[in-house]
Amino acid sequence: MNPTHYLYLATPPRQSFVADATPEEYQILGQHFAYMDQVRERGQLLLTGPALDGSWGVAIFKVTTQEEAEALMRADPAIQVGLFTGKVHPLAIGPITP
Q: What confidence tens digit (pLDDT) does each residue in 19-67 have?
A: 899 999 999 999 999 999 999 999 999 999 999 888 999 999 999 899 9
37 touches 77 (CB < 8 A): no
User: What pLDDT does residue 93 have?
Assistant: 82
To the question of pTM greater than 0.75 for the whole model, the response is yes
Listed residue (54, 63, 81, 52) closest to 8, CA to CA: 63
Other Cβ atoms within 10 Å of 21 Cβ, number: 17
Delimit the domains of the chain by residue range.
Answer: 5-91
What CATH number should be reported for the domain whose range is 5-91? 3.30.70.1060
